[in-house]
Every structure is written in structure tokens, then in C-alpha cells.
Structure 1
Amino acid sequence: MLFAAGLGTRMRPLTDDRPKPLIEVGGQTLLDRALFVAREAGAGPIVVNSHYKGQMIADHLAGQDIAISDEADLLLDTGGGLRKALPLLGEGPVVTLNPDVVWRGANPVAALHAAWDGARMDALLMLVPLAQTTGRVGGGDFSTDDAGRLMRKGDLVYGGVQMLNPARLAEIPDQVFSLNKLWDLQIAAGRAFGTVYGGQWCDLGRPETIPLAEAMLNGG
């Protein structure tokens, strides 16, 4: 699932006339870059959610074998959005991608698939060492223990790509909620893990990060 429903407020004025996933970096939209990552890794079926200027997302994806989870009536955040999309995704585990990041190196979805162990994992997050990030504001999000189990706080940044078992979404009563609530359940159960990315990563959070991402992609 690709999360494309956000308002993109930090990217204004670029998002005044388009949703954030349709901003171009290096001549390619963020949405198309994320779709390439998913397809190259063999992920499918693919679902994209939409809210802000959702018709532009639908028009951009027209003719492709991609389902749209329409959140025009209510923006559900990542947790609520994923739960709404589950009938379109089918049985888990599922992969979620944030299109507003750019990767340079190995395919992160393929790396997650290779490291996934459903017998002991309910979540596997792709983490990036703070020193390998570009455009990041603030510190890290997580650390891991010797077995790779996820812990809050540390110098590892969540890269916006994960593989997870969505079953426990049913335990969360809220309609609108972040996937952080699901992670907290999985962390408490000792079933949330992280794997560290070996390449480079850029957070496309603000207009000034676009040239940084393009320089990174060009080897800078």
C-alpha cells in the first residue's frame, strides 16, 4: 500500500495545485518512484489511498492495475487508512510505502521480504542510520536490541517502508489513527523488528529538500 492521502502542508506552495505524491524529483513523480520500488520487488496487489486532490491521483493512475482506496470523506491517517484498504489488499503480510522519500541503493521492499520471518515477526521496519539520511529534521526514531527487536528512541530513522501483519488493527477502536498505535502493540509483544538499510535515503518533507534528493540520486 502506498500512502498518498496526506495534505502535504510542509511542501507548500508546491502542493497548492497538486497532491504531494505528484511532485517531481529528477523528472519523475514521487508516486511513480514508489510504484517502481514496489513493482521491482514483485509486490502486489497494489493499493494507493487518496484524499487531497484525489482525482489527480486517480487520473495519474488511470489504466494501471492499481486499486484506489478513496478517503475523500475523511482522512484516516496511516492506521485507519491501512485498515480501510485491507479488503483491497487481501491477506497479510502487507508492505506499506511512504512516497515522500527517495532511496539510493538496494530495493528496500525486496530487502524487507528477504528478512521477513512471520513466525516471530508482526512488523519489520526499514531503518536508516541518521548519518545516512538527507533532509531529515530532528533525531532518530528507534533502536534495536541484539535480536533486532524494535525499541523506541535511538539514532535509527524509520525510512517509510515496512512489512507487517495487519491482524491487530482490529483491536484499535479509533477510526482515525496512526500506525504508531499498532507498532506499540507489536513492540510490547516483542514482535516488532527493524532492519538497517545500507544505502542512502532522503526525506522529501520541504521544497528545499528536492535539490538535495536529486543530488543524492546523482551520486552526491
Structure 2
Amino acid sequence: MIFAAGKGTRMAPLTDSRPKPLIEVGGRTLLDRAIALGRDAGAKPIVVNTHYLGQQIRDHLQGSDVVISDEADKLLETGGGLRKALPLLGAGRVMTLNPDVIWTGPNPLPALSMAWDAARMDALLMLVHADRARGRIGGGDFSLDHTGRITRGGDLVYGGCQMLRTDRLGSIAEEVFSLNLLWDRMIEDGRAYGITHPGGWCDLGRPETIPIAEAMLAEDVV
């Protein structure tokens, strides 16, 4: 699932008239880059949720095999949005992507699939060392112990990519909620893990991060 419903307020004025996932970086929209990662990893189906200026995303995807989860009536955040999309995604674990980041190096999705251990894990997050997180403001989000379990706080940034069991979503009473709520429960139970991305990563949170990301992409080509 690709989270494309947000308003992208930090990216204004670029998002005044278009949704953030349709901003181009290096001649390609953020949404198309995220979809390409999913297709390269063999992920099916690919679901995109929409809310802010959602018709533009619908028009952009017209004729493709990408499925739309419509949140026009209410923005549900990541947790609520994922739960609403479950009938489209099907049973079992899912991979999620935030489209507002740029990756170089290996596709993070196959790495998550290879590292997944259903006997131990309810969540597996792709993490980036804070000192290598381009465009990022602020410190890290998580730490890893010797087994790969995550805890809150530390010098590892959540990269916006994960593999997740979804059965616990039904136990959350709120309609609108962040996946952070689910992660906290999984962390408490020792079921949340992480691995680190060996390539480049850039957060596309603000207009000034676009040239940073394009420079990183240029480095990857050389």
C-alpha cells in the first residue's frame, strides 16, 4: 500500500494545486517512483489511498492496474487508511510505502521480504541511520537490540517502508489513527523489528529537499 492521501502542507506552495505524490523529482513523480518499487518487488495488488486533490491521482493512474482506496469523506491517517484498504489488499501481511522519500541502492521491499520471520515478527521496519538521512530535520526514531527488535528513541530513522501483519488493526477502537499506535503495541510485545537500508535515502518533506534528492539520484547514476 502506498500512502498518498495527505495534504502535504510542509511542501507548500508546491502542494497548493497538486497532491504531494504528483510532485516530480528527477523528471518522475514521487508516486510513480513508489509504484515502480512495488512492481519491481512483485507486490500485488498495489493500492493507493487518496484524499487531498484525489481526483488528480485518479486521473494520473487511469488505465493502470493500481487500485484506489478512496478517503474523500475523511482523512484516516496511516492506521485508519490501511484498515480501510484491507478488503482491497487481501489477507496476510502487507508492505507499505510513504511516497515522499527517495531511495537509492537496493529496492527496500525485497529486503523486507527476505528478512521477514513470521514466527517472531508482527512488524519489520526499514530504518536509516540518522547521519545518512538526507533532508531530514531532527534526530532518530528507533534503536535496535542485538536481535533486531526496535525500541523508541535512538539514531535510526524510520524510512517510510515496512512489512506488517494487519490482524491487530481490528482491535483499535479509533477510526482515525496513526500506525504508531499499532507499533507501540507490537514493541511492547517484543514483536516489532527493524533492518537498515544500505543505500541512499532522502526525505521529501519541504521544497528545498528536492535538489538534495536530485543530487543524490545523480550520485547513484555515476
The reply to whether TM is greater than 0.5 is: yes
Partner SS, residue 185 of structure 2:
helix
Q: Which residue of 2 aligns with 1:67?
A: 67
Find the residue that maps to 1:199 and give its secondary structure.
coil
Q: Distance in 2 between matches of 1:45 and 1:186?
A: 25
* Pair 1:5-2:2 in alignment: no
Q: For residue 200 of structure 1, what is the aligned residue in structure 2?
A: 200
Q: Deviations over 1:112-166 (max 9, x none)?
A: 0110111110000000001211000000000011000010000000000000001
Decide whether the 8 Å contact of 1:132 with 1:199 is kept in 2.
no
Partner of 1:104: 104
User: d(CA) in 1 for partners of 2:196 and 2:26?
Assistant: 26
Structure 1 counterpart of 2:13, one-letter code = P
Q: Name the residue aligned to 2:84.
A: 84
Tell whether the 8 Å contact from 1:134 to 1:203 is kept in structure 2 after alignment: yes
Q: How many residues align?
A: 220
**Structure 1 residues 7-61: Cα deviation after superposition (integer angstroms, max 9, x where no partner):** 0000000001100000000000000000011110111101000000000000000
Partner AA of 2:7 in structure 1? L
The aligned counterpart of 2:24 is 24
Write the distance in 1 (CA, Å) between the matches of 2:99 and 2:150: 23
One-letter code aligned to 1:112: L
Tell me the secondary structure at the aligned position of residue 159 of structure 1.
strand
Please give the residue correspondences for 1:1-220 in structure 2 after superposition, counting only pairs within 5 Å: 1-219=1-219
Q: Can you list the C-alpha shifts for 1:177-210, whole angstroms capped at 9, x where unaligned?
A: 0000000111111100000111110000000000
RMSD: 0.7
**Identity of paired residues, percent?**
69
CA–CA separation in structure 1 for the residues paired with 2:37 and 2:118? 22
Give the unaligned 5+ runs of structure 1. none
Deviation at 1:2, TM superposition (A): 0.2
**Amino acid aligned to 1:193:** Y
